[in-house]
Structure 1
Amino acid sequence: MALSSIYSNPQAQLWRCSDHQAPDLDLQRIQAFHRSLPDFNESALVPLDGLAQELGVRGVFVKDESSRLGLPAFKILGASWGTFRAICDVVNLPAATTSLAEAAAAAQQCNLTLFAATEGNHGRAVARMARILGIPARIFVPEFTSEPVRQNIASEGVGVDVDVDVIRVPGDYDSAVAAASHHSKTASPPGLVIQDNAYDGYVQIPRYIVHGYSTMLAEIEQQLAAVHGLAATMIVTPIGVGSLGHAVTAYAKSS
C-alpha cells in the first residue's frame, strides 16, 4: 500500500495561536459545562507500553473516545458546547452564567429547531443535544448513509417528547450541508444550524464547536501529569472535516 504524502511546515515551530486568548473564551467554563451534562465522565487515556518501548520513548498514549457521554465518539463535546453557545447568542443570554436548564427553557419558548448535516457521529451528537434540551432536530444525511446509522440518529428521539427527523439527501456530504442550511432558513420559525465545518457566512458556530473539543485536550494534559508525571511532546490526530485538527492545533500552540 502506497503511503500518503507528508507535508511539513517548519515555520509552525515558532507560531503561537491567539484564538485561546480571546476574551470570550473560558476553557474552564467549557469544562464545567460539560460536567453538567447527563452521564459525563472523563474518557480513558490508555498507555501503549509496547509501542513506546519499540519507539524508544517514555510513553505513548491513546485517548479512548469510543464512549463519551453515552455516544461512541468525541463529537458530543463540540456539538454540545456549540449548541449551547449558539442558543445563548440567539436568545441573548450570557453564556458565562447561563445554566443548561435555562438555555433549554429559552430554546423551547422560542420553538427552536436544530439543523445539521452529517455522515454519522456529528448528527447523532446534535440529535442528543436536541433530546437533552427538549427541542426538535432535523438531521440531513447523504444518500449513501446506511440504515443503521440513520436509525442510531433517529433513536435519540425515542422515548421522549422530541422529534428527530433524519432526511436523506441526493448527493454527497456537501449536498447534505447545503440542504441543512437551506431548510433551516425556510423553516418557520427559522432553525439553528449546528455544523462542524465553516463556509461562507457561517463561521462562528464551528468556532464554538472547536472550542468544545478543548475539554478532551485538557483531560489529556491533566491525566498525563496526574497519573504518569509526564507532559505531552507530540500530539497525533486524525483529520476529517478539520474541526478536531483545528482544536488540537489551537490548544497545543496556544500554551
Structure 2
Amino acid sequence: FSISNNMTFYLLFESCLIPILLMILGWGYQPERTQAGVYMLFYTIFGSLPLLIMVLQYTMTTGSNYMFFTTSVFTGFMSTVCLSAAFLVKFPMYSVHLWLLKAHVEAPVAGSMILAGVLLKLGGFGLIRMLSLLDYDYTLLKELIISVSIWGGLLVSINCLRYMDMKLLIASSSVVHMSTCITALFIMTEWSVKGCLLMMIAHGICSSGLFSLANMAYERTNSRSMLVTKGLLNLTPMISLWWFLMLASNMAAPPSINLAGEIMLLMSLISW
C-alpha cells in the first residue's frame, strides 16, 4: 500500500496469493480443493502476466521503477488493457470470477475471510493506483467494462436465487458487490472512487462476518446446505441475530456503511 516502486508492488501483489493457496490446499475440506487452488493460480497468474510486461516496459523506457512519473508512458488501448487485466481478475470481474467461487467453497473459514476481506480489495486498490497513471482517453474500454460488469452483476444476482450452498451464495454476492465497484472505478470521478472505497471497506467487514456465521452453522450441522441448516433460530437465537444484522448490512439497509457506498456508486453511475 505504501510502495512507489513498480516492481516491488508487482511482486508483493502476486505474493499475496501464496498464503491463501496454502490455506486452501492445506486446510480445505473436500478433495476438490486442489482443483480450486489450480483454478485460482492459473486465473491470477495469466491475468497478471500482461502487468509484468508493462512494468518491465515502463522500467526500460524511463530507466526507473518509480510509479508516479509525470510523463506518462502508458498510452494506448493495449497498455490500458494490460494494466487493468491483473486487477480485474483479482477483483473479480464477471467472466473471470469462476476461480473465486471455487476458492471460497473449498477454503477453510479463515481462508474465506481473508480472501473476501483483503485479497479482493487489493484488486480495487491496484486499479485506483494504475488508472490514475493512464494518460489515455479509454472511453471504448470503459464502456465495455462497465457494461459487462453491470450485466454480469445482474446475471450473478439472478443466479443467487437458485443456490443452496451458503458459502457459494455469499461468494456470489461478493461478485455482485465488486462488479458495482468496478463500474465506479472506471467512471473515475472523485465521488465514485470514494463510494467504491466505502463499499470495499463495508463489504470486507460484512462478507467476512457472513463467512464466519456460515462456518458456525456448518460446525453445528455438518452441512452448508440451507435445507439442512434451516431452523437454527430455535437452537441458536444469538447467532440468528448476527445473521440478521450481517444480511441486512449486506443488502445495504439504512444504518450500514454499505448504504452510503451504494448511494454514492449509483449517483456517480447515473450522472455519468
TM-score grouping bracket, smaller chain normalisation: under 0.3
Q: Larger helix proportion, structure 1 or 2?
A: 2
What's the TM-score, normalizing by structure 1?
0.27
Structure having greater relative contact order (Cα 8 Å, sep ≥ 6):
1
Q: Larger strand proportion, structure 1 or 2?
A: 1
